[in-house]
Chains A and B, each alone.
Chain A
Amino acid sequence: MDNREGYKDLKARTEDFLQIFRKGEEFTQEVLAENERLRFKLVQLEEENKRARGVDPGRIKTLEEQIASLVEENRRLMERYQEVELENKSFAEKYLEVEMENNNLANLYVASYQLHSTLDFSEAVKTVLEIIMNLVGAEKFAIMLLDEKTMELSAVAAEGIALEDIPSIATGEGIIGRVAADGESYYAADAPGENLELSHPIVCIPLKIKEHVIGVIVIYTLLVQKKEFTDVDYELFSMLAGHAATAIFSSRLYSQSERKLVTIQSFLDLIKEKPA
């Protein structure tokens, strides 16, 4: 009985030992394989090292110089790119300015062309009204002409206000009268109030032939969409002061001379027809 148990115990211990031995064998195999792999890697690295040591130092220097040169060129190109970007922006701004100037000149040309395209007084006045309404964007305004006998300004045309509602004004009286007396344009500092005040325009421009004032353009309100005056509006006002004055004055003279011509012609006809 004791011998049999002793045998079983020995067999179990032998099995355990064999199992440990087999694990040890597997581990040894793995270590050997890893060793082989590392040796292979070592050989490869040695080969690479040999090749690297074999490169001409001169060539490395050239390549390094080329890299430095390319880095420098890249830096220069970046700087040039930034310069060109700035130039481009500056050109775009200049282009917008030229466009704006071109549009302004077109407006001024059209206004000037239309003002001098007629010798009829009522047409000349209508053209001035159209320019103020369509080019400036005024809503309520009037053209007042000076009667040199009475030295009073009277409205001859208006838009947005009945002509008869605009009172005559003596030169030197109030804002409008002062513009006629001094020949200097008036621009109100504040926006117009809720109620229309005919004695307080937002703009008053003298119609001048050289220094001689023949009337005024009075603007009371602007169109809803017209929030403020632009540079071209002031140019227009300045142009209107001279050109509209000339157009109105010459057309009035022409109309008067036409009427006088008819009267004289009729008179001459009468004389001719009178029997001797």
Chain B
Amino acid sequence: MAEINFLIVEDSPTMRQLISFALKRVHGAKIMEATDGIDALKKLSAQKFDLVLTDINMPIMDGLKLVSLIRGNDQHKDMPIIIITTEGADEDRKKGLALGANAYLSKPIQTAELLKLVNEYVRK
């Protein structure tokens, strides 16, 4: 079975565990976690990922900065990125999508919605 490598970037351990729990249901899922943007960049430089899920509000480096840095790197320019926003307001989503994120999810995350979106990008 082909491996699908996911990177979850989220400062909240609760959210990391919740997303990780959901992603384990994707066949062949290999999940890595990062607690902020800098941690994520370190992990991205060490291995290739099939999809990144990132929170927006994080300490040290937020999700928007991370998206812009990923898209600025040729090596990861085609890697799907899903942003996770707390706010119902459109501002973060618009910024994230403008910077190159492929899709967004709003908290509280619904597992079915997350898996549907992930499967869509993993299949691509």
Q: For B18, what are the chain A residues with a Cβ–Cβ distance below 8 Å?
A: 106-107, 110, 134-135
Q: For A225, what are the chain B residues with a Cβ–Cβ distance below 8 Å?
A: 88, 106
Q: For B21, what are the chain A residues with a Cβ–Cβ distance below 8 Å?
A: 106, 109-110
Contacts between the two chains (Cβ within 8 Å), count: 58
Asked if A113 meets B108 with Cβ closer than 8 Å, knowing A224-B88, A225-B88, the reply is no
**Docked complex Cα distance between A223 and B15 (Å):** 16
B72-124 interface (Cβ within 8 A of A) = 86-89, 106-112
Taking the closest CB of chain A, its distance from the CB of B60, in whole angstroms, is 17
The answer to whether B17 and A137 touch across the interface, beta carbons within 8 angstroms, is no
**Docked complex Cα distance between A109 and B108 (Å):** 16
**Docked complex Cα distance between A224 and B107 (Å):** 10
The answer to whether B14 and A134 touch across the interface, beta carbons within 8 angstroms, is yes
**Docked complex Cα distance between A127 and B86 (Å):** 16
B16-33 interface (Cβ within 8 A of A) = 17-18, 21-22
Q: For B86, what are the chain A residues with a Cβ–Cβ distance below 8 Å?
A: 133-134, 223
The answer to whether A134 and B15 touch across the interface, beta carbons within 8 angstroms, is yes
Taking the closest CB of chain B, its distance from the CB of A182, in whole angstroms, is 28
**Docked complex Cα distance between A135 and B110 (Å):** 9
A240 interface residue, CB < 8 Å from B? Answer: no
- For chain B, the bracket of interface size reads 10 to 19
**Docked complex Cα distance between A25 and B13 (Å):** 110
B12 interface residue, CB < 8 Å from A? Answer: yes
A259 interface residue, CB < 8 Å from B? Answer: no
Q: For A155, what are the chain B residues with a Cβ–Cβ distance below 8 Å?
A: none
Taking the closest CB of chain B, its distance from the CB of A138, in whole angstroms, is 9
Task: Please pick, from B17, B88, B106, B107, the residue contacting A133 in the complex, using a CB distance under 8 A.
Answer: B107
Asked if A135 meets B108 with Cβ closer than 8 Å, knowing A107-B18, A223-B88, A224-B88, the reply is yes
The answer to whether A114 and B108 touch across the interface, beta carbons within 8 angstroms, is no
Question: How many residues in A have their beta carbons less than 8 Å from beta carbons of B?
Answer: 23
Asked if A110 meets B108 with Cβ closer than 8 Å, knowing A223-B88, A224-B88, the reply is no
- Fill in one digit per residue for A87-121: 1 if any B CB lies within 8 Å of its CB, else 0: 00000000000011001001101110110010000
The answer to whether A114 and B88 touch across the interface, beta carbons within 8 angstroms, is no
Taking the closest CB of chain A, its distance from the CB of B87, in whole angstroms, is 8
Q: For A109, what are the chain B residues with a Cβ–Cβ distance below 8 Å?
A: 21
Taking the closest CB of chain A, its distance from the CB of B12, in whole angstroms, is 5
Q: Which A-chain residue is minimally distant from B55 (CB atoms)?
A: A134
Asked if A110 meets B17 with Cβ closer than 8 Å, knowing A103-B112, A136-B108, A137-B107, the reply is yes
The answer to whether A223 and B112 touch across the interface, beta carbons within 8 angstroms, is no
A184 interface residue, CB < 8 Å from B? Answer: no
Q: Which B-chain residue is minimally distant from A118 (CB atoms)?
A: B13
**Docked complex Cα distance between A2 and B106 (Å):** 122
A117-156 interface (Cβ within 8 A of B) = 117, 127, 130-131, 133-137
Q: For A135, what are the chain B residues with a Cβ–Cβ distance below 8 Å?
A: 14, 18, 108
The answer to whether A103 and B111 touch across the interface, beta carbons within 8 angstroms, is yes
List the 9 closest pairs (A to B, CB-CB), nearest first: A224-B88, A137-B108, A103-B111, A130-B14, A225-B88, A114-B14, A110-B18, A225-B106, A110-B17
A-B contact pairs, 29 of them (CB 8 A): A99-B112, A100-B112, A103-B111, A103-B112, A106-B22, A106-B111, A107-B18, A110-B17, A110-B18, A113-B17, A127-B13, A130-B15, A134-B12, A134-B15, A134-B18, A134-B86, A134-B107, A134-B108, A135-B14, A137-B108, A223-B86, A223-B87, A223-B107, A223-B108, A224-B87, A224-B89, A225-B88, A225-B106, A226-B108
